[in-house]
Chains A and B, each alone.
Chain A
Amino acid sequence: MSLELRGITKRFGSLVANDGIDLEVRPGEIHCLLGENGAGKSTLMNVLYGLYQPDEGEIRMDGKPLVLSGPRDAIAAGIGMVHQHFMLVDVFTVAENIMLGDERTGSPLAFAGWLDRRRARRDVAEVSARHGLDVDPDALVADLPVGVQQRVEIVKALIRDARVLILDEPTAVLTPQETEELFTVMRSLREAGRSIVFITHKLKEVKAIADRITVIRRGAVVGTAGPDASEAELAGLMVGRDVRLTVDKAPPALDEDAEPAFAVRGLTVLDESGQAAVDDVTFEIRPGEILGVAGVQGNGQTELAEAILGLRPAAAGGIWLDGRELTGRSPRQVLRAGVGYIPEDRSHDALVADSSVAENLVLDLFDRPPFGRRGTMDVRAVRDNAERRVAEFDIRTSSIDTSVGTLSGGNQQKVVVAREMSRPLRLLVAAQPTRGVDVGAMEFIHRRIVAERDQGRPVLIISTELDEIFGLADRIAVMYRGRITAIVPPDTSRADIGCLMAGIVPGSDDAPPSGDGTPPAPDATAPDTAAPDATVADTTVADSAVADSAAPDAAEAGDEPDPRQDAPVKDGDK
């Protein structure tokens, strides 16, 4: 089945999200839709899935025009979509989620739409077995790791006999291993003659899996390419100019004898349900060093950053900056102590969308001289400050009085960065500093972060993008289920970091104990090449990674996974 989009234009008010886009998906191909955040990929796919009606253009299937007035029409036409944010009801079972909207009904009260759960369960089991997508129909979705939830979404599309499957940024929530498994599934679907539209902004993945590539920039198709195109070419197409894919950074000027400037020892933070979101985490950062925290989203990174900022209480352990304890301080006290904070969700935690750029630039200091005096605000000082920051940080805004919510993501983030870096800092905490930011702004923000480091400040970067971690970090701490599985140097291989992100310590013989008692998947064991890296406890790193007091036996622990790590997230386990 071939699918063709011709001249699709979609406007939201004055914003043209899609501008005359042509796209052709051939039967049995994996077609990559590559573009930056905000380029219009998701809008286009929502048009294709019937969620949006295009203002112009048409969709043709096998040469015949197709009118999609809603998802129901798209499903009927054989189009399935796995959304970036899963469309699963947490409190339903897998089978309930999959049959929702296409319910199996039957006796004893067929006229009333009585649910035939047995048939639903059987159909799910049958389809998931046929495509090698192992899911338990009776599991509650809330209990499943994201990788499995994604499989549920794929089964949901396949059970409706989707011939064209749209995957919207499917790898954003996956570990590298899970991504590899997803690719295997995608290839086998291609073998079965189904087409896949794979949306991403990650060049490596495009190269790994695509049959054809369409690049979108600012709502328009700017080029098509084959899988043999180089990463630099693709990046150039995507951004519209030559870009550097690496961060320029000198090796850290570390004084090996320096006292760590920032230390977290035995920190435990509880989430809303009282579970340990951060579980006995210990690390130190020396002056002029960037520690990168890698990990799949939702493994305690958010809570770690919030605990450092005093936004969440520490249930145990402590936080020290330059010898002063920060534990239990209010966010204001922490900020006053010289901590700069770039939160991961800028629209929610960092900016007041309806306030102006100038006001947002002094959110932390508005009550302090020179901006505030005896309960009044010095408007001129605020404006002067804004003019300077806008110039210095290259914030593209029509004026400093524009409300910040109307700026592009990259420029919003620059406002946050400008505000946080214009105070004298003793520590910078940056969570997802370039999420949803265009490549140009990304380069800029990375340069500023490295500049902070070069001035001798400790920097903590939390990111789910491995490229960002590798580009910036001088040491990498990997978080899994609230714990730091290891702190490793930046030349550690991607595969090893990937293992650590799934809670597996490379070189150890035991995979983490499996929650349901099934043996681990073959790929759960670490590659042998990792073994030299993994032999634990060179003294220098052990010193800095493990606080002297916290875990004297840490060195031996490498081949002994913690028994309390009950259910592993590892996908292949089931």
Chain B
Amino acid sequence: MSATLTPTTAPGSATAAATDRGHWYVGGAMTLVGLYALVAFGLGSRTDDGAKAVFNLNLLGDQAIKVPDLTVPAGPTAIALSLVCVAVGVLRLAVRLTGSRRTAATSAYLVAFVAAFLVWATSGHSLNFTSVLNATVLAATPLILGALCGVLCERSGVINVAIEGQFLVGAFAASFFASVSGSLWAGLVAGCLAGGLLGAMLAVFANRYLVQQVVLGVVINLFAAGLTGFLYERLMQANPEYNKTMAFSAIRIPVLSDLPVVGPVLFGQNAVFYLTVILIAVVQIGLFHTRWGLRTRAVGEHPTAADTVGIKVVAMRYRNVILGGLIAGLGGVWLTIGLNITFNKNMAAGQGFIALAALIFGRWSPLGAVSAALLFGFAGGISVSLQPLETPVPTAFLSMTPYLATIFAVAGLVGAVRAPAADGIPYTKS
């Protein structure tokens, strides 16, 4: 054989063709749904004959700055908004968008679609939009707290499926201790501590005894449900004074709470809500701009690397899981003394799992999780507000939609969803 180099060249690569088809499916689906919106919302009988949709934008009667109601002709508005949806769909079909442009297009699509739906639903009626927003925020607050707990745990590498249980013990402890002591703040502290204790339990079994973390979380949920159910029956049912209706009163922030539309929603809530807002900022900034955050993320991504530069991996995980538990406990506090509701068996009603969904939908980032929680809260808010409007759409169907969206998100259709690399894997030195 003679000495020869034979370089081979490639006439073509199959990569591009194989990976670029995604936007056709997404764009096609978006266009079809947009066309459906056009026919159903814009051209349907509900918006016929110049019907008007009226949106009230004042939450309270004593609002300092009042804004007039927004009245729109239902048919043409719905048609215009549906056409926006169709246009975005066609754009996605024609061009392969990436990064922030794709996000912007998807957001515009969602806003236009939801607005078209609202105009159609409100046609011939009036809807207090600010009250929808208020309901959104109230429903989203526990989801946000639960998702922040998830961020802390999972970013450091421990899967926390026990948020539901942490809500329950938090809610119970808050109601019980507030009732007994007469101090809402005592209730708040007790609720947080209860969540933190359950977090400590999760941390010990996950880090020390290396229990499979999803199973562990499920077991802790069952334990929390059983424990609070038992205590509720034994203590609270017999003695209603241990389970009083109490709540933090709203603190209206001067000037800001008088802003139209968003003012009362964002600046007329109670202390637990403001604490939540502060926590969002603390976790977001802490995670990405401080030593603690860098180490937390390192421990969740590559614990051995963290260990070799002298970071105590297991200690970091303990700390974050317990901190997360305190935050989820605050979510439980919100469910009782934040919302002026007495404790009841299994009152968390799956919200801990929805918080988990928000965490994943938000791609393990605090702000992403907050956005997802707000989306879920909005769906809940709408489904309540639409009931008096006699729409042909069952409200249960509406409250289902965000979770459908979550499934698509988790399946990776909205973009790559990537958990921290060491999430759920206990750290052991061999």
Binding site for B on A (CB under 8 A): 49, 51, 70-72, 75, 81, 83, 86-92, 96-97, 99-103, 105, 109, 112-115, 156, 266, 268, 270, 274-276, 279-282, 315-316, 475, 483-489, 491-492, 496, 500, 505-507, 532-538, 540-542, 545-546, 550-551, 553-555, 557-558, 560, 562, 564
Q: Is the CB of A540 within 8 A of B298?
A: no
Checking A49, A491, A537, A553 against B9 with a beta-carbon cut-off of 8 angstroms, the contacting residue is A553
Say yes or no for B7: interface residue by CB 8 A criterion: yes
Nearest CB on A from B417, distance (A): 13
Q: Is the CB of B291 within 8 A of A113?
A: yes
Listed by A's residue number, 18 A-B pairs whose Cβ atoms lie within 8 Å are A71-B308, A87-B304, A91-B421, A102-B309, A112-B292, A115-B294, A275-B19, A279-B10, A487-B6, A491-B3, A506-B5, A537-B4, A537-B6, A550-B11, A553-B9, A557-B9, A558-B5, A562-B10
Question: Which chain A residues border B10 with CB–CB below 8 Å?
Answer: 279-280, 483, 551, 562, 564
CA distance A70 to B429 in the complex (A): 12
Q: Restricting to B294-317, which residues have a CB under 8 Å from any CB of A?
A: 294-295, 297-298, 301-302, 304-311
CA distance A56 to B13 in the complex (A): 58
Q: Is the CB of B18 within 8 A of A315?
A: yes
Q: Across the two chains, which residue of chain B brings its CB closest to A103?
A: B291
Q: Taking each of B286, B290, B292, B305, which has the highest tally of chain A beta carbons within 10 Å of its own beta carbon?
A: B305
Nearest CB on A from B305, distance (A): 4
Nearest CB on B from A561, distance (A): 9
Q: Is the CB of A115 within 8 A of B289?
A: yes
Q: Is the CB of B1 within 8 A of A475?
A: yes
Q: Is the CB of B297 within 8 A of A545?
A: no
Question: Which chain B residues border A70 with CB–CB below 8 Å?
Answer: 310
Q: Is the CB of A115 within 8 A of B290?
A: yes
Count, chain B residues at interface, CB 8 A: 39
Q: Is the CB of A489 within 8 A of B13?
A: no
Say yes or no for B8: interface residue by CB 8 A criterion: yes
Binding site for A on B (CB under 8 A): 1-15, 18-19, 286, 289-295, 297-298, 301-302, 304-311, 421, 429
Q: Is the CB of B309 within 8 A of A486?
A: no
Q: Is the CB of B310 within 8 A of A114?
A: no
Checking A115, A270, A542, A554 against B291 with a beta-carbon cut-off of 8 angstroms, the contacting residue is A115
CA distance A90 to B420 in the complex (A): 11
Q: Is the CB of B8 within 8 A of A268?
A: no
Q: Is the CB of A103 within 8 A of B294?
A: yes
CB within 8 Å for A557 and B8 given contacts A89-B297, A96-B294: yes
Q: Is the CB of A505 within 8 A of B7?
A: yes
Nearest CB on B from A201, distance (A): 21
Q: Is the CB of B6 within 8 A of A545?
A: yes
CB within 8 Å for A489 and B1 given contacts A103-B294, A279-B10: yes
Q: Across the two chains, which residue of chain B brings its CB closest to A474?
A: B1
Q: Is the CB of B9 within 8 A of A507?
A: no
CB within 8 Å for A75 and B2 given contacts A268-B13, A485-B7: no
Q: Is the CB of A88 within 8 A of B302?
A: yes
Question: Which chain B residues border A316 with CB–CB below 8 Å?
Answer: 14
Question: Which chain B residues border A555 with CB–CB below 8 Å?
Answer: 6
CA distance A475 to B6 in the complex (A): 11
Q: Is the CB of A546 within 8 A of B6?
A: yes
Q: Is the CB of B291 within 8 A of A92?
A: no
Question: Which chain A residues border B294 with CB–CB below 8 Å?
Answer: 92, 96, 99-100, 103, 115
CA distance A392 to B87 in the complex (A): 72
CA distance A89 to B308 in the complex (A): 12
CA distance A309 to B286 in the complex (A): 48
Q: Taking each of B1, B307, B311, which has the highest tally of chain A beta carbons within 10 Å of its own beta carbon?
A: B1
Question: Which chain A residues border B292 with CB–CB below 8 Å?
Answer: 112-113
CA distance A113 to B293 in the complex (A): 9
Q: Is the CB of B15 within 8 A of A276?
A: yes
Question: Which chain A residues border B12 with CB–CB below 8 Å?
Answer: 280
Nearest CB on A from B261, distance (A): 33
CA distance A270 to B292 in the complex (A): 38
Q: Is the CB of A91 within 8 A of B301?
A: yes
Q: Across the two chains, which residue of chain B brings its CB closest to A541?
A: B4
Q: Is the CB of B302 within 8 A of A536?
A: no
